[in-house]
Every structure is written in C-alpha cells, then in structure tokens.
Structure 1
C-alpha cells in the first residue's frame, strides 16, 4: 500500500486523538467526571466505541479509558527510508480516529447543544441533523436488512460545483442509496451546495446532512454499527463479528470529494475497518489490493459522471433497475405477442437485411456502464413497413464474468426484447429477426430503447456476475456486415470448445425451455454433440447457465436407462420431456428424424426435411427465401413444424449440428443430405468437408449435394444425384 496515505492517516489520527484529549480535559475541568454525556435518544451509547469495545460511555469520566485505548492504537509515522507496507498500522490508526471523533462529537452535544437540530430534516434554523436517534434507526435501519435500501454513500467534502452536487445526489437517489453528508472542501460542504439549489434533504429523501466537521463522519459509521447490533444480533464488544457483518451485510462506501487532508485520511482508514472502500475524485494515493474490503480499498481520479457506479462496483454493491424506462408496457406478459406484417412499422434481419447480436466479455477500461450508442438511421427515418440492417453488440465487464457465460446472456436478449409490448424477436446469433409495431413506434419507441432494455435486464437479473453493461447498435449496412464477420469468429470459437466432448463421456444433458413462451410444449434438450436448435446454446453454455441460475430454463437432464442406443433414447430423458411438455410429448430419439424426433420451436437456424423420392433429406437455412424441393419455402415449412410439434421427417436444427458425429446417425448421417441452398452450402463447406472426410464420403461429397442452381423439382434433383452417384441412393430406404 502507499506509504503516503498510511502516513497521512496516522498523522491525522494522532491529531484527532490529541484534539479529543484537550477537549475532554477542558470538559472535565468544567463539568466534572460524573457529567452525563452521549448522543440523544439512543440506547447504544456512543455506538462505535460501544460496538467495538463493549464500553458503555454515559459519563465524561468514561471517555478517559477510551482515549487511552485510542492512543495505544496510533502507531509511529512511517520512517522515510525503511518502512514495511503493512495495512494494519493504518487501520489501527483509523479506529483510533473514530474513537476520537466520537468523543469530540459527544462533547459537542454537551458544550455546544445548538450544533444539531436533532430532527429528521433540515429546518430554517439549522442544516445539520447530527446523530440519528433510535426511532430513525428502527425505521431506516431495517431497510438495509430487507434490501429496500441497498446501501449508503458517505459524502465527505463538496462537489466541484452546485450542479455536480445535485447530479451526484440524484444519481444516488435513483439507485435508492442513502447519502450521508459531512465535512467540507474549499470552504463548502455538499449539503450546503444542495441547499443552495433548493434540494429537499432529510431522512425522507435519503439525503442526510450529518455535520459540518469531518468528525461527523462517525455518525454514518455509528449508524452502520447500530444496524449490526440491532438487526444482526451482534453483541457489543464482539468486534470481529461486528466488522464481518458490516463488510458483508451493510453495503456502504465513502466518496471523498475535493481535497483530502490528514484528518480525512484518518477517517477513511477508519471506514476501511468496516469494509467500506473510499473512492475519490482527486489524485490521492491508492490502495488497490483487496483484503479488508471486498475489492480495492482506495480508488482515485474517478470522473464525476462515473463516481457512484464505480463506487458501487468497488463495494460489490449490485443496483437493480426496478422499472425499465421505455415508452411501452413492459413485462413477461408480452413475450408471446406476435407483430404481424400488417401491424409492423419496421423490421430488422431475418431474410430481409443483415443482422446479428453478440454478447462479449470486455475489460474495465473499455466498458462505460450504461452507455448506449446508435450509428446509422433510427426507425423514424424509415417509411412504414420498411427494413433496416441491425447489429447489436453488448459488452460486459464483471469481476466474476467469464467467457463461458457469454452465450448464456446472449440467449437472454431474445427473452428481454420480447418483454416490450410491440417488439417481436426470434432467432439468435446472425439469424435474428426483429420487428417493431406501428403502435410501439407511435408511442415513441426507438432503437435506443432496445439498449435500455438490455442494460436494465442484464444488470438486474445477472447482478452476481455483471458489473457494467455497454450496448452498441448499428443500422449502417457496411458496419453491420463488418461487425457480423467479427461476431461469427466468436460463434466459431464457442463451437470449437465442444470438439473434445461427446455424448458418451457425460452423464447429464441439459434442457432449454426458454422458447416455451412461443412453443408451450417444446422442450429442447442440448447434448454435447447436438447444439440447441437456435444454434446459440451448446452443452457447455447450458451447463454454465445452470451454474449462474440453478432455477432457470436450463436444467440438468440425467442420462439413464438406455432404451435405444442407435436411436439415442433414454428413459430418464423421456420422463423429463414428458413432464415439461405437459404430457404432450411421450418419447424422443435424439439421433433420428424419422422416429420420435426432437420437437421444434420457431427459433431454429435451419430445417431438415425428408425428400422421399431421393431417399434423403434437404436442409434449408432461415436466410434462404426461395423455393425448396419440398414444394415449400423455409417460412412455410417452419410454420408447419414449429410451435413444439413432433413431426417425423421434419426437424429444426442449429447449423453447428451439421458437423456433429451424431448428425442423423440412426438415419445414415451426412450421406442422406441431397439438397441445400448454394449460399448455405458454401457457408458450411469447411464443416461439411471435415465431417464427410471422417465419414469416408470422399473429398467431393459437398459438390454432389444439389442446390437451387440444379433445380427445385424432384426430377431435376434425382437426375443430378444419379449423375454424381450420391451415396443416399445406395442407402437403405427410409420407409
């Protein structure tokens, strides 16, 4: 740690203890040792002293041994040449400073009784409230236990301007934080700045002006101590349990505003004992390693616009957004809503324009919490019924965030965007499809609100791993295409993680019921060698999702009691699917499309369909808008098999499944593929060629698959297959 800040804390503590000693000596001469002393209307005496030492200070004479203890806690100032960077000395000095500050404040009540109003809000006769009494503690302290008050900020000093002070206060209020104000910098305090701007202060508004002196900081720490004693069951004098409680249950931090002198350093060191870190807007020495506090101890040079969010992050305090600020109704009730073409103002992605969505882990220096940007035209620049490209990049920083969690959060985008009334979203990765209704547009819904939704929901529902969220949106065609190329590299790396896994070497599969809002009877089961239909949920992703949220839509499905090894059927999987499909689906075989195949929702990346005349299957991807040899387009086929229906000979799949060793294994595997759209075939060529080589199908197998350049009529396809000697023609009949 910094020798400079340790030395300042120790000097400040020594000065405060000396000051307290002088004031106590004067009071003893005037009033005598039996004079009653303390804070008004409380049974907790002087709470910091009482909580840490167990001493009940009720008379002036009781303060003498307290200050003697404080003197013993103040170490020598670090030597210039040789000094061991030990935090303990500074922490001891900080505790001594708090004992001295509480002594000074108790004497102030005795010798200057008009210093504090003792009320719950400032009045024309006085700004400073002083220590909270037990009535306030009982009402307000419980809020720190039940979560209605997530924490408090101790603001020491003044903001650089009155306007900045108001913004700081409002941000804390928006986050439901209490603000405890004391001390001054540059001759003004934050409370005086708020008063000058007519801001209403007091316990009711959670803006509490404690006192003008830096020693009033002890009122805030004393309040935390009383919460632990009153609601945490901590016994007075059990300092180890007390400090553990405040560290783990009372989420407070100190905002050092303006210049920081020795006395402020001493109080800051005292706050560190309670697990309350210090975040400063000036260039003070930092203490970055963790140990006493959850994360860093002292962080400096934080911009004002980031001060509160940075302090919350350092404290480990998770602030959730109770109401998503969008101009339409918002909630799970709208998740199953459909925006039809005639009701649509604008659409993105799907088969019309390029689109994708990506969640990625980023470093703290690259993510500005709450930042939402849009490049390109907004929806009001498009004529009704028009279309735009759309790229969505969500950058997330979190101390506990891991790359394995990215796809889990990415899949939730589908969920959250559908919560907005008049917004419709299906698909994932680079096959997403979004529509905004005329009604939503008329109410003022714009593209930025997509970012607002994602920020609010990711911060609230994944608070344990997410500290900062930044959303970038683009409707510029060139930019979206370029970003999509980068996103596909992310997708490919995620898919590659599964290469070493197999269905045989795990004993658990995982479900995904996220799409049951659209398909109530659909239960997707994700295997190591079979990605989810949407293409975004791999076995690893589902396992990570279950770790993040054990009660969420990804649940473990035991792999027990094999019924058909070749077809991929287990009794335990059937039981799980039967239960979670509400008894609609009795059995599923994972390695075949012909007998009890897995159901399909509506978010699948591609669709497999039987072509009986060719003794094989066609595969058509969502982006292909043309006709297929089945006599139907993708959208018509999808409408026929989606919604959780089990349809032998038809099945939705994720693109990555085409490269799996288990791809239609019981039906003959890759050798059954007789037709694919040309663009899709080229996109998947590396995957198909690798799989074909492993299956012994020859280096030219991909070129023996027909596409629309050959034709979409069965007769045309069959002639091509015979010419190319496609292996499907020599396999056993599908019927």
Structure 2
C-alpha cells in the first residue's frame, strides 16, 4: 500500500469531515435540529449511509450523529517512520469521507449553494433510478465511469466522452482540476449532456462523487434485495454486478480526491489516471489493480475497461457517425435539424414484412426518390421504410417485434432522433450528421446490420427500401395499414386460455436474483416492454436465454391463475426462494417484481380497493407512501400480498387481478395516468359493465388521503363499496 496515497486519503478525510461538520452547524443555525433532510424524490434516505449502517437519516439531528460516527472512523495519520502498510485504515477513511459528504451535500439542498444549478443535476431521483436501472440489468449499460477532474483540453474531453458512450457506459462527472471540470469542457463544445445521453454532470465539487456511489448503493437496495445495514453484502454486490471505475484526469490529485478514491475502492471500483501518482497494483479489494497511473489519455478508456474487468460487446455499424445506446436519448432541436420526417399530417411509416427466400436479396438497400441532398431543409418530409425479411424460422408474429426494435436501432445513431412506430412516426436528422456524410441509405444499413446482429437466429436475409416521394408513400400506406389491421386482429384474439405455453423473463435476475416474470398473452412483463410474442421470439432467438417456455400443465386454481407448471418453474428459477405464484391475484402469492415496473398497485384497506401509481407520479399517494417508498416494498424479488408491480398494459386486461375483483377494485390513480390510459380503461370497463367507471376513479385533484378516497367513493357510489372484503 502506498504511504503517499494512504497519507493523502486520510488527510483528505479529515478535511472533508471538518467541512461537513461546519456546513451542518450552519444548517442547524438556520433551520433547526428538527429540520427534515432528503435528496428530493428518492427512497433510502441518504443511500450510502443507509446501505452501510441501516440508519435512516431523516433530520439534521440525525446528521449530527453521522458526523460523530464519521469522526470515530478516521484513523490516525501514518507515522513518519513506523508506518504499517494497512489498507484497512485507508478504506475506513474513504467510507468516513462518503458519510460526511452525504451530510454535506444534503445540507446544500437546505441552505445552498444548490446542487441543481446550470449543467449540474445533483442527486438522481427515483424515476431516473428505476428507468436507468433496467439498462444495467439487461446489459445495455455494462457499467459507469466516474470522471474526476478535467481532460488536457476540451477536444480531448469530447473524444473520451464519445469513446465511453460508444462502449455503452454511463459517464458520471464530478470534481474539477484547477477550477476546470470535465463537464464544463463538454459544455464548451456544445455536447448534449443529461441522463438521455448518459453524460451525467452531478456537481463541480468533489463531494458530488456521493451521487455516483449512492446510485450504486440504491441499485443494490432496490434491485438486489440487499437489506440496509448489511455493508459487506452491499459492497460485494457492487463489486460483482455494478462495473464501475474512477477515471481521474488532470495534472494533480488533491487530498479530497484521494479520500474519495479510497471510498470507491471499498466498492471494488479502481482508479485509473493519466496523472503521475504512486500505483497500487496488487489485487485484493478490487478485481484487479486498485490504482493505475500515468496512462496516456488516448489509451485510458481501454485501460479502464481492462482494469475493471469489463466485458464490452460492440457490433460495428458501417455509417459515418458514432453509434451506440448512449445516443438513443439524443434530442435534435429545430435549429439543429437538417430534415424532419413524418409528424402531424405528413405520411410516413415503418413496416417489416416476411417474404419467400427468392424474393429477398440480402443487403440490398434502395432509395426510391430524392435523397437528403435533394430535399429542402426543414420539416414535412415523407418517407416509407419497408424492411423485407426471410428466414426458415421467421414467423409473421415476429414482424411487430422487429418493427418496435427499429426505434432503438435507428435512435442509437448519433444525429438521428426517432419517435413512434408503424404509421405514426417522427424522425429528425441533424445538420452535423448530414455534414458528416449521413444519408438515407445509412438508415437501411443500420436496419440490415442490427437485424442480422440481434435476430440472426431467425433471419437469413434482409433488404430495405426507402420511398421518399410523397405519392409513393401514400400509395404504399394503404397496403401497409391493411397489414397492420390484419395483424392486430390476429394478436387481439390471443388469450391465456388459448395457449398451452407461457414464457419467462429472467433478464432482471442479475439485479433481483429471486425475481421471475411470467409473461402471458393477457399479462405483459411488468416493465411493459416484453409481451408474450416477445417472449416467444426471444426463445427462438436464444434458446438458452432469459425467455423460456413454461408449460402450464395441471390447473391448481383457475381463479387465482395457478398451475403446477408455473409453480415448478418459479421454484427452480427463483433459486428456490418462492414456491407459488398467482398470476391473477394481488392478495394471494402475487408475482414478484425486480424494480423495473411501470406501475405499482397497492391495497387501500379502508376503501376495499386498490390504488395504482406510475413512476412519473412523485407526490404522496393515499397509501401514505410515495412511489419510491412503495418500490422498496415491492421490488427486489419480494412477494408482498397487497402490493404488485405491473405494466400499464395490464390494467386493460380482463385478467387484471381478476381473482380479487378485477378493474372494479381500482379506486385511485394519478390524473395524468388516467388520461393516458383513458381509451384502454373505457374499453375494459364497458366489457365489465362498469358504467362511467373512469369518472369513478379518484385522482389527486379530488382525494389525497385514503379517507378522502373513501369519501369520494361514497359520493359517486363506487362499485368496490359493495364488493366482498379483499381480506
């Protein structure tokens, strides 16, 4: 263990604890000891402290106790001559640093300077946490780089950021070097930052590093079902499942930065830097080396991946712009766009159809009509994209699955913004992408490459035709819409009773080891992105993957939705943690959740019904809990009667908690969610003879507590009032 690093880290820890103590004293003077503290719209209190100690920090008085705990963890500074090279002292100093910095940062939310300011985003709220968590689950985001300091210049910063994006990593930015930060360098070059592009600027102070490490802790608590207070399990979870590293850039490392690096090593997150500092090469806490220095900036990203032990899978797409999931959230403003495809009143579509083998020439890409060079700049462009595919295992039922994936495939190209599907699409291509050489043929190249790359087990050949004359697009739309209608009718007739196989989705088990999604024709995956047909296609594509067929076999309880086949699969696939699951009940052995659900349903005992809340609703609910709090009760592979995670689609299903009374049990949901699902809910309520039912569901405009919900139900005579008790 380097004495220089150890001494610096411990000195830095003392400085940070003192700084946090001073900030806390100021906050108490201004707000009082009973003042509540929180990172806005987040569960798990101050997540590092909560994960490591189990202590819920709720007030400034609680923070006083934490600062005292941090001080008690500070080791003595290494002696000049008789120094013991003990890593534990440095790790303790690192953890004391993180405890103190969480207190310091939460006090900033009370008395300033505000953590959310300009480009700085502060703590990620729980909506972002759960939306982005699925990307760490399914591997589209293999890890994150916590960047400290700044690059030698702004152009190099952009180059490093793009390289990390192309490797699908998140980039968390905090701290500075001599007053300049990596995020400010990206801003100087006009790089779009935020969660959508995976370039996340947390804060300019070094203390903002707690937002990166807190994100990792929250992943373990939320998805991994690691109980608060079990520090060792949380740290091991992060070492083995959250592949992160510290990338330190600049000309020197401060004592405070050393202290934070020591904190990160506790998690198994190594530090890699271009700066000339001592190295810690022996393995131990980290998978490989702990500190690697003097790495040239043009090779530092690859060295980071090597040291952390990351496995990156990249399939090169032959187009003149960067390509990867990091660009899917890119927004192209009106002033920055070359053209806009589709939109209101502009005919445009995307269509996948199955052909015979002799009708498809693999790799053939045609643009029938003018290309971008011959189109006027701006909106109003009509394009029809037809992808014709063939393969021995190809089935017409897979066509809508491939169409939905086109949104992701095209959106991952830098300079292409993609929205919608089928005949309701709106795309933009940026001026920068056009200048780089991007043309419409490259859209065809992306589709060809990605269809082969991800559906190669099913597809043998792909050809793509792009129609750009408005009259051609309108002519094709007639036959395309007829195909859509036929397809919808075919899928709409499928029910749970009409099939003998359901499909599993265990994609999220890397975060929630005991969770198993069982997907049926009438119940999609709780994340909303996996239908029964998706499960079927997933199994065809990868027979050993997360989507496995489940034979229903003997009926145990038809009302609850229990079969011996589903129970047996659950028991074996949940690592023998769970024995039974009821697909149609929220009260009896409900299905588990990983944490990626679109909605949570929760029983309201006084109302004899349930409330439904989606992740976009951040206010208090009638249950007395926010979405983020309930998510901790439901997620992590737990089976909690009275609570259930599910997709929005499931609310319109005839099987929605049918064992407990179905849709008629819904007594409250957020107004925005009710409006979003109005057409679906109205159709379902009519089929159940629930007259004017949508108006009978309370929302936050008429009821904010359970008592107010009951009062509203009595006023409008909600059907749940006369139903059998739920328990």
Task: Tell which has more relative contact order, 1 or 2 (C-alpha 8 A, sep 6+).
Answer: 2
Give the TM-score band, short-chain normalised.
0.3 to 0.5
User: Which of 1 and 2 has greater Rg?
Assistant: 1
Could you state the TM-score of these two structures normalised by the residue count of structure 2?
0.44
Could you state the TM-score of these two structures normalised by the residue count of structure 1?
0.43
